[in-house]
Structure 1
Amino acid sequence: MKCALVGSRFFAASVFEALRKEEGIEFTSIVAPAEDDRLAVAARAAGIPVHVLANPRIVPAEAIAEGTDLIIAAHTHARVSDGALARARLGGVGYHPSLLPRHRGIAAVEWTILEGDPVAGGSVYHLADGWDAGAIAAQDWCFVLKGETARELWERALAPMGIALLSKVVRQARDEGAVPSFPQDPRFATKAMMIKRSLVLTEEETPAHASLVVTVMGPDRHGIVNLLADRAQRYNANWASSRMTRLAGEFAGTVHFEVPHEHADALADSLRQLESSGLKVVVASSAGAIVPDALRGFELELVGEDRVGIVSRLTRMLAERGISIENLHTEILRSGVSGKQTFKIGAHLLVPAGLPVDGLRAELGALASEMMVDIALDERRAAGVRQP
């Protein structure tokens, strides 16, 4: 049985090691997004060549060797192209951590918790057009523990279940020459849309203006943004930045206004008056901060599988070293066939000039290994920083 494995990180490497122990299973292709990805490292250690994707969003036909029987997708952030699937005699299968057709989409495990499902499960399904809509090859289920988080559910039950289910399907394909196929019932389909969490913290030199950070929540309706914009214009305020979304019929948004000091209180009062229209409004004000001398600006990027505590541990480590966060943005997203949740951080840091950068990189590298994430640190010239 000749297989191609497309995937990344811990889950894909674990699937690789599990299938290597199966008799009669041979890998014709290992496809990974980067040279240093855990799957790529594990494959090379076993003496198997790795195809590193030039485009991280798609697996081209040439990535799959001729003569392949089955493509296995295990935490891939790239779509397996039709050309690639055509090279495999039995097509391709992937693992989704839900009882499909329930929770099709980006954040299946999180929506299992958010919906209060007492039972969770995993599905191996055929890679095909549609949002996790291919025919089912195998499924299993488990109970959800009271108070369990999405990460805990994944690590305790759903990741091991995925490894076992993929191994089962590959053995069936090896022994029977075919992959089981049972169509999903669309009547029970639900969508697990991307859950995006964002946090923006800024410290900027704004001597001529005060900063108002305004949070607005309430039932979504036409014209909420216009209400904010009209009040900003009335008091000569600049709409500096914003993040807004609509979830389950509710509007939630955060706006940073830069307003002349003499108009700051009046604008804040005007915004709070929007509560009479059914909105909840919170206004925080600041006169702005002066960035001290002798700081070096750096940009930090972190990418890894979503889990509880990443931001907490990273920011604690930075604070202990006297590093200020000028700007921090976090998000959760997923892309590609059977891609799972990926957590990303982009941060602008102000690092004391006396702090050894090589030592900081080494400490961040150790933290990255411990948390099983990737961290990159690059120097930049930060806005508002007076270089010595």
Structure 2
Amino acid sequence: MKCALVGSRFFAASVFEALRKEEGIEFTSIVAPAADDRLALAATAAGVAVHVLENPKIVPGHAIAEGTELIIAAHTHARVSDEALARSRLGGVGYHPSLLPRHRGIAAVEWTILEGDPIAGGSVYHLADGWDAGAIAAQDWCFVKKGETARELWERALAPMGLALLSRVVHQARAQGCLPAFPQDPAFATRAPMIRKAVVLTEEVSATTTSLVVSIVGADRHGIVSSLAERAERFGANWAASRMTKLASEFAGMVHFEVPRANADALATALRGLDAKGLQVVVARSDDAAVPASLRSVELKLVGEDRVGIVSSLTKILAERSISIENMHTEIVQSGVSGKHFKIDAHLLVPAALSVDALRQELGALASEMMVDIALGERQLAVPLG
């Protein structure tokens, strides 16, 4: 049985390692999103050639070798094109960690937990047009434990189930030369889009506070952060943001305090007093808390599946609309079973003439282009009591 495997990360690598050791199964093509992906590394170590996708959204026809009998999709977000499917005698099948047609989409396991489903399952389905909508070739089910997380459910039951189902389907195709195909009932279909509070826009202006940005460098020791916090509390300052780290044996940090204007000078003096304790302290003050009338202060938060080009695409849109970035923090985090997510937190200055709705449309277009889910929402300013 000549198979092509399209996939990524641990699950695809596990499918590759399990099936290649079985008699009568040969891999003609391995298709991965990157040369350093776990599937690509496993195939390379086994001496199997790897096709690295140029476009992460689609598997082209030439990625599948002539003579392929079955394409297997295992943890891939790239669509297998019609041209690719046409190169395979039996077409292609993929594993989806839900009882299709329930929870069609990229976050099926997460939605299983969110919906409180007592039973979960896995489906091997025929690759076809639509969102996980192809006919079912094989299914299995399991109970969901009380309090179980999406990752725990995936690792305990759904990943092993997927491996077993794919193995069963491949052996059936080899033995019978065909695959079962039971159409899904669309009446029971639900969607499971990626779970993200991806972009939130907030406008915040305070005319009653002063911003102090404090830089601290010195020999690392206990109590540095506590000393900063104690002085901030003494003068009624809010610890708005901070970045701290240990480099070699040195402590380095930056803290943004929002302090009542009447207390700003006293807090700055108290912070500079830390020089006597062997720390180098620089305090920068900004009394211009109010943004000019021609600009709005906007906070942006974005979360998406990690991929090349998110920052460049986002900043290009902002620059083209004369939006300034006051500060930006990015990080990569592991989330659920969907893999690595890329996060951006940024403070922007947006021209008053540009409406939030217009910016929402622009970022919505970016979301579609980057294959991510984006949600926008304005947070209203709190109304002072009394």
Task: Tell me the TM-score range normalised by the shorter chain.
Answer: 0.5 to 0.7
* Aligned residue identity for 2:42: A
Q: Percent identity?
A: 70
Equivalent in the alignment of 2:159: 159
**SS at structure 1 position matched to 2:137:** strand
Could you tell me which of 253, 278, 303 is aligned with 1:331?
Answer: 303
Instruction: Spell out, residue by residue over 1:136-189, the C-alpha distance to the aligned partner (whole angstroms, 9 max, x if none).
Output: 000000000000011110011001111111111011011110111111111211
Instruction: Spell out, residue by residue over 1:234-275, the C-alpha distance to the aligned partner (whole angstroms, 9 max, x if none).
Output: xxxxxxxxx44xxxxxxxxx514234x25xxxxxxxxxxxxx
Equivalent-residue separation in structure 1 for 2:78 and 2:11 (angstroms): 15
Equivalent-residue separation in structure 2 for 1:121 and 1:291 (angstroms): 53
Equivalent-residue separation in structure 2 for 1:170 and 1:323 (angstroms): 56
* Aligned residue identity for 2:213: I
Could you tell me which of 330, 338, 341 is aligned with 1:344?
Answer: 341
1:290 deviates by 1.7
Equivalent-residue separation in structure 1 for 2:58 and 2:196 (angstroms): 23
Could you say if the C-alpha distance between residues 147 and 91 of structure 1 is closer, same or farther in structure 2, counting changes exceeding 3 Å? same
Equivalent-residue separation in structure 1 for 2:130 and 2:305 (angstroms): 18
Contact 1:329 1:345 (8 Å CA) reproduced? no
Contact 2:305 2:342 (8 Å CA) reproduced? no
TM-score by length of 2: 0.59
Equivalent in the alignment of 2:366: none
Could you tell me which of 227, 233, 258 is aligned with 2:205?
Answer: 258
* Aligned residue identity for 1:174: R
Contact 2:124 2:166 (8 Å CA) reproduced? yes
Could you say if the C-alpha distance between residues 101 and 120 of structure 1 is closer, same or farther in structure 2, counting changes exceeding 3 Å? same
**What RMSD, in angstroms, separates the aligned Cα atoms of the two structures?**
2.9
Equivalent-residue separation in structure 2 for 1:35 and 1:21 (angstroms): 23
Equivalent-residue separation in structure 2 for 1:18 and 1:101 (angstroms): 27
Contact 1:325 1:347 (8 Å CA) reproduced? no
Contact 2:306 2:342 (8 Å CA) reproduced? no
- Whether 1:292 and 2:239 are equivalent positions in the alignment is no
Matches within 5 A, 1:130-169: 130-169=130-169
Instruction: Kindly name which structure, 1 or 2, has the bigger radius of gyration based on alpha carbons.
Output: 2
Equivalent in the alignment of 2:50: 50
Could you say if the C-alpha distance between residues 319 and 137 of structure 1 is closer, same or farther in structure 2, counting changes exceeding 3 Å? farther
**SS at structure 2 position matched to 1:31:** strand
Instruction: Spell out, residue by residue over 1:77-130, the C-alpha distance to the aligned partner (whole angstroms, 9 max, x if none).
Output: 211111111110100100100000111112111111111111000000001001
1:51 deviates by 0.6
Matches within 5 A, 1:89-108: 89-108=89-108
Equivalent-residue separation in structure 1 for 2:255 and 2:304 (angstroms): 20
Could you say if the C-alpha distance between residues 324 and 293 of structure 1 is closer, same or farther in structure 2, counting changes exceeding 3 Å? closer
1:287 deviates by 3.8
Could you say if the C-alpha distance between residues 138 and 86 of structure 1 is closer, same or farther in structure 2, counting changes exceeding 3 Å? same
**SS at structure 2 position matched to 1:104:** coil
Gaps of 5+ in 1: 199-242, 245-253, 263-285, 296-316, 350-388
1:191 deviates by 1.4
- Whether 1:36 and 2:36 are equivalent positions in the alignment is yes
**SS at structure 2 position matched to 1:288:** strand
Equivalent in the alignment of 2:4: 4
Matches within 5 A, 1:126-275: 126-198=126-198, 243-244=199-200, 255-259=202-206, 261=207
Contact 2:202 2:300 (8 Å CA) reproduced? no
Equivalent-residue separation in structure 1 for 2:301 and 2:339 (angstroms): 14
Equivalent-residue separation in structure 2 for 1:318 and 1:41 (angstroms): 35
Equivalent-residue separation in structure 2 for 1:20 and 1:323 (angstroms): 51
Gaps of 5+ in 2: 219-242, 257-298, 308-336, 347-386
Farther off after superposition, 120-129 or 107-116: 107-116
TM-score by length of 1: 0.58
1:331 deviates by 2.6
**SS at structure 2 position matched to 1:128:** coil
Greater relative contact order (Cα 8 A, min sep 6): structure 1 or 2? 1
Equivalent-residue separation in structure 2 for 1:319 and 1:13 (angstroms): 36
Could you say if the C-alpha distance between residues 290 and 122 of structure 1 is closer, same or farther in structure 2, counting changes exceeding 3 Å? same
**SS at structure 2 position matched to 1:130:** coil
**SS at structure 2 position matched to 1:184:** coil
